[in-house]
Chain A
């Protein structure tokens, strides 16, 4: 399929990192072919039926490879850099070590930019790249594989525990930019880590297409946070693809606040007796469109998955939740619970929610529930009967609904940032920050 991006790829692909590596060249070329054969996802595809990406196809976003140090947006940096964490800053799709801070990080934990990793440890990258996700998954994955400009390679060695989370702060500072990062996170046996992905950018049209592949080793524990607060006009496609080893634990917290159109994919493959928790909160206002797609693959027995996604949509915003749980024939003693609860604050807001359970084993405990509704009028009246005016009552109940997800966050600086975001995006009259 011919689209604007083919010509651009021809022009720029030589400048991509790792093009001297034959194996990578092949992977990229195959990926680009996969992308150009298929084109961008269409509404005819089941997993894209609610999300129209035609606007991206019509435009041409272009990457920036050779700019040495990008001019950084100081305000964004200050606003979103968290306290009490290690920070890696990525500007316009490139790691900027200058703005990063890894002081005190143990030697047993390696944090490299993808560019450096391809240079210094290509065999390690080769071992993991495109192993947790296939380019056929969807076109944005292929697009990313073909075109990634940088990203992180994080490797936590066996038995290591990182005491502070690592924040990956993605900043976009330019209009029409294509920020394509590919990251790999490997947490070896018995190790523990937490990583915070933050996506922010200017109030201009740009495109983020990020893929993170995650490998959680035997008995290892990984908590991944994502706070997507892209600029109001941005397009965001972010996929997290996880492979869990035996008895591992993976927890994901997905906060989707920004962008004009945002799509989050979170997929995990569970191994024997492993556990995953997928939490999500998406807030939509004005004409925002936020699509969440999760897939939990119970391929092995004795694993446990819990999922709770909450959506709050106001004005003309539209939300999507598609949650798939697949329990293979061998995956006996599976325990799975999935919930999606949505609050619609206006008549024009809309949500499409589709939990999908595909169960091929017989000895399993699986539950799922979906609600779409307005605020509970009984609760509104209860608060009014306790002296609060109706508007305040509604604000408080909305805030409380969303806050359940924020409350789960124990990293203090992130918790505070999330609360602020919540307050900024919804009417806050009557809701004091101190109320918690």
Chain B
């Protein structure tokens, strides 16, 4: 599904990613952990096409396509989704409008007709129930005045409706209370399927207790310095990042 080879990226003169290699197959759940400032969000931004990053080396192939050459919206329409660590507030644009516009853009991309208004409403109400959100959120402006946890939940609502093939979650668990974490995790688990892959960035074992990863990677100083199975996360929790960084050095 996704193959990242020797990816180097920088902002201005600062090099942030320094040779990331990662292979994600359909249906797999990968967790990326690592210290603050390691470059985890940067990796997700580069993959989703956020402007301002310069890729200096390496390549990324997504479903056979050169991902880095695609416009952000084309990546999104092709199934790459990023639930942001810090979702943006968009006053004046209602949640439901954005959901519908996004879904229709994907359908158009896939040669389908616009979604029927009733079907859409049924779908949205179904998913909003799954995430146990109030229907009022649909008619509010995107993320405007949402609490930190509400924003994160809203990102997952979008994922649930857009059904991406590659779903990246950047610290979706941060800022969620214990109950919300469980609800969001259930939401994510319900999305798991044989042909959908996940890239979860997190600092906490908590999330991984609910969503069991197939692989855990440690990203430090712009590189993946250690990879392993779900047990690696537990080991990290016990020993801290210095342990891996020490090993890698």
Contacts and interface: CB of A to CB of B under 8 A. Distances in A.
A139 B205 CA distance: 73
Contacts of A382: 84, 87-88, 90, 142
A389 B73 contact: yes
Contacts of A381: 50-51, 72
Nearest to A381: B50
A385 B90 contact: no
Given A396-B101, A404-B92, A435-B93, 16 more contacts: A377-B51, A381-B50, A382-B84, A382-B90, A382-B142, A385-B48, A385-B72, A386-B76, A386-B158, A387-B162, A397-B90, A397-B92, A400-B91, A400-B92, A400-B141, A407-B92
B27 to A, nearest CB: 23
Interface string A357-401: 000000000000000000011110111111111101000110111
B2 interface: no
A283 to B, nearest CB: 15
Interface string A108-121: 00000000000000
A-B interface, 4 closest residue pairs, ranked by CB to CB distance from nearest: A400-B92, A387-B105, A384-B72, A382-B88
A379 B92 CA distance: 12
Most B CB atoms within 10 A — which of A377, A387, A404? A387
Contact of A385 (B76, B91, B92, B141): B76
Contacts of B72: 381, 384-385
B96 to A, nearest CB: 9
Most A CB atoms within 10 A — which of B94, B98, B106? B98
Interface string B89-122: 0111110011001110110010000000000000
Contacts of A377: 51
B237 interface: no
Report the interface size class on chain A. Answer: 20 to 34
A428 interface: no
Contact of A387 (B90, B93, B97, B102): B102
Contact of A390 (B71, B98, B102, B158): B71
Interface string B46-88: 0011110000000000000000000111001100011010011
A2 interface: no
Contacts of A400: 90-93, 141
A421 interface: no
A128 to B, nearest CB: 40
A415 B87 CA distance: 31
A410 B50 CA distance: 39
Contacts of B51: 377, 381
A403 interface: yes
Interface residues of B, number: 31
Nearest to B105: A387
A404 B71 contact: no
A436 interface: yes
A386 B92 CA distance: 16
A398 to B, nearest CB: 10
A435 B94 contact: yes
B190 to A, nearest CB: 21
Contacts of A386: 76, 98, 101-102, 158, 162
Interface string A418-436: 0000000000001000011
B73 A388 contact: yes
Given A377-B51, A400-B92, A404-B91, A384 B71 contact: yes
Interface in B128-148: 141-142
A279 to B, nearest CB: 15
Contacts of A388: 73, 101-102, 105
Nearest to A382: B88
Nearest to B109: A387
Most A CB atoms within 10 A — which of B72, B102, B103? B72
B71 A389 contact: yes
Nearest to B80: A385
A379 B88 contact: yes
Contacts of B102: 386-388
